[in-house]
Structure 1
């Protein structure tokens, strides 16, 4: 599996007229080798060079699993990892670098002549990661099933007088009871007007009758990420709240119906945005429609007006339209989809129907 992934990246490199690359993103290294390390301030790099076995350079504080498809070269805190890295590459050839190569490492590599030039080449790994294998698709399905089950329990935490922070603090325990490793990102729990802030951080706001209750949550399971948003109503919603909710639901479902190989990301975004614009709420849908997802909750390649590439089978991304009315309330409904050969598979089964909590 890992050799095949490395082979794909090397072919992608060749298409960029590159023969060597330094990968520093921990999740990309995990994707290519099975070794996951969070290095903190220390250097971590995977050297990919044509016709050579990859070399993983990491501090001896960390360990790599047995049998990974690369040579492991450890270094001590008193060693100079840049000097070791320089020796892994051909100085007469350009070096592809990924987005996580920090300036404190990149500039010394440049000053010491590690390569003839330096090229941002994150896309050669990102493109490989964007196409989920059958095994990865199964892991994404499993994580989303857990997220569905968790959502059914999260809504039971909602009660009058509870604070957003109190509710948010109980979510990880539920995830772990359901077999997940924990959160895939910091959860968003928003009550009332706070739901009009798409990235609101849970605070001491107390729930009151008539509030919307928005959960944007995800777990990590089998190392893969889930992400889902549902909006509930604490008490009978007003006609305006019903209208906004129905508009967002229809926007979500219009975008899902369009997803198929060959359809452009920007056209999927447009399908949802048109529904919201036709209802008169266009200025209040303030973000892109979605993002790709996998080992990271946000992976490169967004579903937006600026991304005109076609979707391809095996890609996995979110569809999350929203309407945010400052000072009043907000509604977002988010699902994950996997692109199939002739359409898409929606990973989330938690229903879209308006739900009143009491």
Structure 2
């Protein structure tokens, strides 16, 4: 049995939250925004440090207000007040939730009005890949309370800030990636024909937890004769047999930060076309690694990877993108898409995820996690096997 990997420290110094908040307030000043409010867990945690499993429950709403100056203000259910003693937040306002007739809406409105007295512009997450995590009726009531104010979208500001990771964030992500790599190595040594997809995933899941992952909420698989036809379902109780190819795509979480990558396995003899497809996506990933650097765009990365797949005879790519941002959420902005114009910057963490349909009903997908550095990029974990591993047991 291998030793548990050495994990980085949990949480962050208060100075990290000060820096994050000051960067946001600088962007707010540039757009004359008096205050911003957040309702979803990643943004709430990013600026407050408050980390709770209560987000799993839809019963109670949680609000965080960031004024133009000073520390954020928490507007939360009474049950959560004590948890803020472990954060840098000092101003915590509460109500006895659940209270359907007014579940914190008036308290949130009063808090926002008390700090939004300049331009009367209030920011909220209203753009793509966001949601408000509050009933539509409650949001409408909030707007009625704030009739003299204007709600503006700040999702672009937030995605820009969150896309550049601090050194402490990188270390958490690196550990999650290392745990995942060790889990895949464990699986390589323990997979055998006759297991089901579900049994294979469960074995890897338990090993990653043993190695130090806090959880593994994303662990999917697909398999088929010589390939697979989807990468978003499973695991199922399908039994793995000779001639099958299995993909497992997983995201281990440590202290609120995700890994996200996959590995492929063949069972016994598979067609040469399957091996060629694996080597093509491996080479495509290599092309992505060679071009991913500050100043390049997400479109440049996509083009470098797709050119390799196209030359290898790819029939298409139904995934819609070939990688994405990574961090507090399993997938974050930006996406590596054709014509993408997001300029890469040092500190960004991305996945490289080339995929191809190489024959009718058969896909091959490969994924790695990288950090954009000052001079290029670096892997956050050990590289995949250069050739398709074959399970002979």
Is the TM value for this pair above 0.5?
A: yes
Residue 147 of structure 1: how far off its partner (Å): 0.9
Q: How does 1:26-105 map to 2 (within 5 A)?
A: 26-37=41-52, 38=55, 40-62=58-80, 63-70=82-89, 71-77=91-97, 78=99, 80-90=103-113, 93-98=120-125, 99-101=130-132, 102=134, 103-105=136-138
Q: Is the 8 A contact 1:224 1:296 kept in 2?
A: yes
Q: Which residue of the partner structure matches residue 384 of structure 2? A: 351
Question: Residue 83 of structure 2: SS of its match in structure 1?
Answer: coil
Q: Shift in Å at residue 114 of structure 1? A: 5.8
Any conservation in 2 of the 1:212–1:233 contact (CA below 8 Å)?
yes
| Cα distance in structure 1, aligned partners of 2:70 and 2:182 | 46
Out of 228, 231, 252, the position equivalent to 1:198 is 231
**CA–CA distance in structure 1, aligned partners of residues 137 and 381 of structure 2:** 42
Instruction: Give 1:168 shift.
Output: 2.0
Structure 1: which 5+ runs fail to align?
A: none
State the match for 1:2 in structure 2: 17
2:105–2:142: 8 Å Cα contact kept in structure 1?
yes
Q: Which residue of 2 aligns with 1:268?
A: 301
Matched residue, 1:152: 185
In the other structure, the counterpart of 1:189 is: 221
State the TM-score, normalizing by the size of structure 2: 0.85
Report the equivalent of 2:257.
Answer: 224
78-87 or 59-68: which moved more?
59-68
Aligned residues: 357
- Which range moves more in the overlay, 230-239 or 280-289? 280-289
Residues 123/69 of structure 1: CA separation in 2 closer, same or farther (3 Å cut): farther
- RMSD, aligned CA: 2.0
* 1:9-66, Cα deviation, whole Å (9 max, x unpaired): 1112223331211111211111111102415232211111112432111112224242
- Measured against aligned partners, the alpha-carbon deviations of 1:127-165 in whole angstroms (never above 9, x if no partner) come to 111101111111111111111111111234422222112
Q: Which residue among 267, 273, 287 is the counterpart of 1:240?
A: 273
Superposed counterparts of 1:270-349, under 5 Å: 270-284=303-317, 286-325=319-358, 328-349=361-382
Instruction: After TM superposition, give the deviation of residue 200 of structure 1 in Å.
Output: 2.3
Separation in 2, partners of 1:171, 1:192: 20
After superposition, the Cα gap between the structure-2 partners of 1:33 and 1:229, relative to the gap in structure 1 and judged at 3 Å, is: same
Structure-2 change in CA distance of 1:114 and 1:325 (3 Å): farther
User: What is the deviation of 1:110?
Assistant: 0.7
CA contact (8 A) 1:284 1:325 kept: no
The CA distance in 2 between the partners of 1:214 and 1:115, in whole Å, is: 54
Task: Compute the TM-score of the two structures, normalised by the length of structure 1.
Answer: 0.93
Greater shift in the superposed pair: 16-25 or 34-43 = 34-43
**Is the 1:285–1:321 contact (alpha carbons within 8 Å) kept by the matching residues of 2?**
no
Deviation at 1:347, TM superposition (A): 1.1
Residue 326 of structure 1, CA deviation: 6.8
Alpha-carbon distance in structure 2 between the residues aligned to 1:228 and 1:67: 33
The one-character-per-residue Cα deviations of 1:145-190 (angstroms, maximum 9, x if unpaired) are: 111111111234422222112222333211111011111x421122
Identify unmatched segments of 5+ residues in structure 2.
Answer: 1-15
